[in-house]
């Protein structure tokens, strides 16, 4: 099976529909990403509820609710397993197998696997997924706050806090865009920590990273 990469990093496919599905809570979308990031080539993921809760950075109760949401929306199918307990002399419940829908009818987005290593809130995690989606094959996304709010079913204030959190972790760089007539345009969000190949391509449009970070982050959400 060919491994997928984004920005020179091991990555996995996530359905665009899952990222943009406003009927799902942020915790359910994050749980869905955890399942899609850990299934086998046939779409099956067999992990305990405790393991899934750790991957999605949530409690077991929240993980159970998130799995119910994902199954009712058709993203996963749960298959119950049993094992024989010698002490009880009977069959007992074993771990579930979660089968992910791999049709990707609405397209997919490659998500770097190291995103799981960042301590992000659910809303911040989902917004990061959205920026990867809007960046496409490039390293820059420039959606407006209104568009983010509308497509993610997220309050603008929540989106502002999430963007500031992402800049604080070093995942993205926010650049304020002002037109020649001094009117504000959509902010640009550049993904950092990319491979040397992507970094070399970005040299065609250089900018002072240290200066931008210092001067633009306070004006992130004007």
27 pLDDT above the threshold of 70: yes
Helix (H) or strand (E) holding 82: strand 82-85
Region 171-193: mean pLDDT is 84
The CA angle 67-161-185, to the nearest 5 degrees, is 115
State the pLDDT confidence band at 222, using cuts at 50, 70 and 90. Answer: very low
Cβ neighbours of 104 (radius 10 Å) = 15
What's the pLDDT score for residue 193?
Answer: 63
Tell if the pTM clears 0.85, that is, is over it: no
Contact present, 13 and 110 (Cβ < 8 Å)? yes
Q: Which domains does the chain possess?
A: 1-114 (1.10.10.10), 118-222 (1.10.10.10)
Q: Is the pLDDT of residue 64 over 90?
A: yes
Q: 203 vs 97, which has greater pLDDT?
A: 97
Instruction: State the average pLDDT for the chain.
Output: 84
pLDDT at 24 over 70: yes
Model confidence pLDDT, tens digit, residues 103-157: 999 999 999 999 999 999 999 999 999 999 999 988 999 999 999 999 999 999 9
Look at residues 6, 62, 78, 72 and name the one whose alpha carbon lies nearest to residue 30: 62
- Res. 160: pLDDT tops 50: yes
What is the mean predicted confidence (pLDDT) over 194-211? 35
Query: Which has more pLDDT, 59 or 216?
Result: 59
> Do 79 and 27 form a contact (C-beta atoms < 8 A)?
no
Instruction: Collapse the DSSP code of 95 into the 3-class scheme (helix H, G, I; strand E, B; otherwise coil) and give the result.
Output: coil
Cα–Cα distances in angstroms (integers) from residue 138 to residues 7, 19, 160, in the given order: 9, 18, 23
Which is more confident, 43 or 200?
Answer: 43
């Amino acid at each position: 099976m060919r491994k997928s990469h984004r920005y020179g990093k091991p990555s996995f496919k996530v359905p665009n529909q899952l990222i943009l599905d406003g009927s799902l809570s942020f915790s359910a979308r994050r749980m869905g990403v955890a399942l899609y990031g850990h299934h086998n080539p046939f779409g099956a993921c067999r992990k305990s509820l405790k393991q899934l809760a750790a991957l999605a950075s949530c409690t077991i109760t929240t993980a159970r609710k998130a799995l119910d949401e994902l199954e009712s929306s058709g993203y996963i199918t749960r298959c119950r397993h049993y094992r024989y307990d010698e002490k009880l002399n009977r069959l007992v419940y074993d771990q579930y197998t979660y089968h992910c829908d791999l049709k990707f009818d609405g397209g997919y987005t490659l998500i770097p696997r190291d995103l799981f290593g960042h301590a992000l809130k659910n809303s911040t995690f989902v917004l990061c997924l959205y920026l990867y989606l809007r960046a496409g094959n490039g390293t820059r996304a420039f959606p407006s706050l209104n568009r983010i709010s509308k497509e993610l079913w997220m309050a603008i204030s929540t989106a502002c806090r999430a963007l500031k959190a992402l800049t604080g972790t070093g995942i993205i760089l926010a650049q304020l865009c002002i037109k020649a007539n001094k009117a504000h345009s959509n902010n640009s969000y550049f993904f950092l920590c990319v491979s040397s190949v992507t970094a070399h391509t970005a040299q065609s449009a250089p900018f002072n990273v240290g200066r931008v970070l210092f001067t633009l982050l306070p004006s992130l959400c004007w």
